[in-house]
Structures are given as structure tokens and as C-alpha cells.
Structure 1
Amino acid sequence: MTDHTRLPAGLPVPEDDGAAAHLPGAKVPGVELQGTGGTAVRLDALGAGRTVLYVYPLTGRPGADQPDGWDAIPGARGCTPEACGFRDHHRDLLAAGADGVFGLSGQQTDYQREVVERLHLPFQMLSDPARTLERELGLPTFEAGGLTLYKRLTMVIRDGVVERVFYPVFPPGEHAGQVLAWLRDNPL
């Protein structure tokens, strides 16, 4: 059985393929996504402050297999360590100027709700199974196991505009600390 909380050694490092270069300065579309808190969240109405929105491909569950070849896909593995990093740094992120933190994937809300409960996440996950943000913002994707999944990236959204993009993200378990350092280095 795979331990989703730890990253194996030797994972391939994703390279910047330029697929997110168009995002800084982009206006966030008026997309409404179901959140694990039981309500829909409208992305263009997040408020005037900064919101951290980390996008990830697929969170694994204990006892469930990942798509074949998952560990060989650069940047695919690590959603659980990434979520735990944002959980562990949540208070610090808010103290450094983030008004909110959200995770987002194409997984269904019920699946994400289990992840929020199991990992004790203090923030909501947003569900985008139709990959609306792929169409509206041009978010990068990849194919695995017959699924089209989001590539891992993080957007800092401010006043309805993408202020900063982290892409590619590696290693995912250390990424929340990278976002925290950027927020501290770039106060409002």
C-alpha cells in the first residue's frame, strides 16, 4: 500500500513548459465552484485581499491505487504532502497577508470532503470536475490513467486578478513554505 503522506526518492522534477506564463495579470473569471464547506465559492468574488488558490491533480486515498505510472509523471505525485503543508502553514499564511486559502482539483466534492476530514484541513477544497478553469483561464493539464488532470500550480489572487503564479511546483511538500516566504517578502 502506498503512503500518500511521504514522497518517494527520485521523483522526476517538472520543468517549466511555459503553460502558466499567461496567468499573471489575468482577470479571474466569474466561475462558481462547489466547496467542501457546503456552499459554492465564486472566484471573482473572493474579496479585495489576497487569496491563495493551489491547484493540484489528484489526492490519493489510503488503500486506493493511483493511475498507472503516476510516480513517473513529473509533478504528479505529492498532493497529500502539499495539502498538509498548507494545513501546517495556514495560520502563518493568514498572518502574512492571505485572506484565505483554497485547494482546487477536478475531483468531486464528496471525495475532497473526505480528504479535508482525514487530513484535518482548516480550509476548503474546491471541486472543478468539468475543468471550467482549464477553459476559462487556460490552466495546464495532463493525461494519466484515462483522466485529464490539472497540473500543479498556485495562484495568489488579489482584487480579482492573478497577482503571482507558482509553476511548476516542486517539491510539493515544501511548497506552502515557498508561498509563505513570497507573501512575507511582498507585503501589501
Structure 2
Amino acid sequence: MRKSELANAECGIAQALGVLRDWRTFLVLRDIAGGTTRFDALQRGLGVSRRVLTERLATLVEHDVLHRRFYSRHPPRADYLLTPKGEALLPILIALQDWGTRHVMDDGSLTATAEPASAEAQRVRHLVGRRLPDVLLTRHDGRPERLHTPDSSLVLFFIPGAFAPGDAEPPSGWEDIPGARGCTVESTTYATSHADFAAAGARVYGVSTQAPEQLTAFVAHARLPFPLLSDEHGRLAAGLLLPTFRAGGVDRFKRLSLLVDANAVVCSVQFPIRDPAGSVAEMLDLVRQMSRAGAGK
């Protein structure tokens, strides 16, 4: 064992970097979390050599960060999927995304929104045409929910925090964070319009990074006729590189909404959202337009 290895034997950061190695590995994990799981597709997207990608994937499999699921034995071809150990790295990807957006691409200010012309807003707009990663989230009532369904479109509205009076309080300074306020207004406006969304063939879900039990009281308080989903482990946030900010020691979604068709493809986005209530009416118009277009085929 080298002296440097002995010196770092008790340092978790050094040991983690011994597995993750360099920046390319983080990009490999980013793309796999987003649903690009096959070797050729990963190589095209990352623009690295076959040798480099082979080495990175082999190391991650060796350390049980990824596992291979073979879809062909002759010749051998596999999907590379995150293990539970690999999924534990998702909060690190989210933190890197947030840090890069806030401190490298911006001036370091804490915000729950973005400027329409910002790189972050452009990244969200590029979600149009992307498939949702096939992830399992947990509803506010503890039941699992898989978003992929072939029978209807989806409206996913992402909120920074859902707080029921007397049950949970917003973090200190919440009122001063641009874009943080408005979750109750947005949620109850969706509740009022829920029947109209259903008539147009769309299911509505609210999504938060809060734990399911923290969402239960809010659903009861706001009398929501639709589920709130918890992405507390960052599966959807990391898979779609959704914009987040950190407040009260928790990574939280910046307010945005996605319209997803029956093939699980994002067909419209709303971000930034400056008028939470008004965004619901705009989304309903988008859903109706998509429904009419589908009926005309």
C-alpha cells in the first residue's frame, strides 16, 4: 500500500473518489440516471472513447454502483443500471448541479426560480422530447406510484415545499427566497380545476422532495383530490436534471411544471413560473390543445 493510500485510509472523501475517479464518471452516472443505459448510447452522448467508457463502467460494476442486466447473450449486450448503492449517489449529483448553477453559472444568490433567458431555463426547455425515467415514487399515503401509463397524459407540477398550518413550518427565511412562496395557492388551484384536467384526459400529480409523511397533512389541509409524490431520494430530480435549491438543509425543487404524453415523453414545460395560480390555467389550455390534436389524428 502506498503512503498516500495509508494517509487517506480513514477519509471517506478519498475513498469515494477512489471509486468515482474523475469527472467522466459523474457524467456516466448522470446519463444512466436519466435513462441512457446502453453502451453505444452512452458513448455517443458523452463523446468518450470506447476504452475510457469500458474502464469506467467496469469500475462501477466492480464496486456495486452499477449492475448489468443482459438483454442479449449472443453477442453479450447489457443495460447498465444503478444499484441501491448507486442510487445513494443521486443526492451528490443534485448537489453538484445546484452548486454549478448557483455558484459557477450565477452570482451565488439563493433563489427558487430563474430568469427566463438563463442557462437553467434553457436546460428545462430542452426537456421537451425527453422520456421520463422509469422511476418508482412514493405517494403521500405511502403507496408506490409508477408514472409510466399508456392510457393518459400527465401533468407534473413540482413545488418547493408543502406546509400544513400547525403541522410543519417553512424553513427560516422562506419568505425571503424568491419564488418559494405560492405552493398552497398553486396546489389548491389545481384541486379546483382537477375535474377539467380529468375531462381532458390528464392525470395531475404534485411532486416534492419532502418525505411522504410530511406531505400527508398538507393533502388533508388543502383537500387535494390528487396525490402528492415524494422524490426524497432524487430519482426524478437527478434523472431529468431538474432545477433545485437548498433551504432548511433540504434540496428542494424550483417551481416548474411538465406536461407528459401517454408515451411518457415531455411535450411542454413551464419554467420559470412567476404566477403559480395563473400557470394552472395555462397548463389546462395546453392539455386541451394536446387532447384536441390527439382526437384529430
Query: TM-score scaled by structure 1?
Result: 0.85
Once the two structures are superposed, residues 113-135 of structure 1 have per-residue CA deviations (whole angstroms, 9 ceiling, x without a partner) of 21111111111111111121121
Q: Does 1:162 align with 2:262?
A: no
CA contact (8 A) 2:138 2:144 kept: yes
Q: Does 1:107 align with 2:207?
A: no
Q: CA deviation at 1:38?
A: 4.1
Moved more, 107-116 or 75-84: 107-116
Greater relative contact order (Cα < 8 A, sep 6+): 1
Q: Are residues 40 and 78 of structure 1, via their aligned partners in 2, closer, same or farther at CA, if it must alter by over 3 Å?
A: same
RMSD of the alignment, in Å?
A: 1.9
CA contact (8 A) 2:171 2:247 kept: yes
Q: Does 1:121 align with 2:221?
A: no
Once the two structures are superposed, residues 71-100 of structure 1 have per-residue CA deviations (whole angstroms, 9 ceiling, x without a partner) of 2222111111111010000001122331x1
Whole-angstrom distance in 2 between the partners of 1:69 and 1:167: 23
Q: Does 1:134 align with 2:234?
A: no
Q: Does 1:87 align with 2:187?
A: no
Residue number among 15, 21, 24 corresponding to 2:115 in the alignment: 15
Structure 2 unaligned residues grouped into runs of 5+: 1-111
Whole-angstrom distance in 1 between the partners of 2:231 and 2:200: 28
DSSP 3-state at the match of 1:121? coil
Query: TM-score scaled by structure 2?
Result: 0.55
Residue number among 160, 165, 176 corresponding to 1:72 in the alignment: 176
DSSP 3-state at the match of 2:288? helix
Structure 1 unaligned residues grouped into runs of 5+: 1-11
CA contact (8 A) 2:208 2:230 kept: yes
Q: CA deviation at 1:37?
A: 4.6
DSSP 3-state at the match of 2:124? coil
* Identity over aligned pairs, percent: 37
| Larger strand fraction of residues | 1
- Structure 1 residue ranges, 4+ long, deviating more than 4 angstroms after superposition: none
Give the letter aligned to residue 50 of structure 1: S
Once the two structures are superposed, residues 137-171 of structure 1 have per-residue CA deviations (whole angstroms, 9 ceiling, x without a partner) of 11110122332111111111111111111111121
Structure 1 or 2, whichever has the larger Rg, is 2
CA contact (8 A) 2:140 2:229 kept: yes
Tell me the number of residue pairs that the alignment of Structure 1 and Structure 2 aligns.
Answer: 175
DSSP 3-state at the match of 1:66? coil
| Larger helix fraction of residues | 2
Residue in structure 2 matched with residue 26 of structure 1 by the alignment: 130
Whole-angstrom distance in 2 between the partners of 1:47 and 1:38: 23
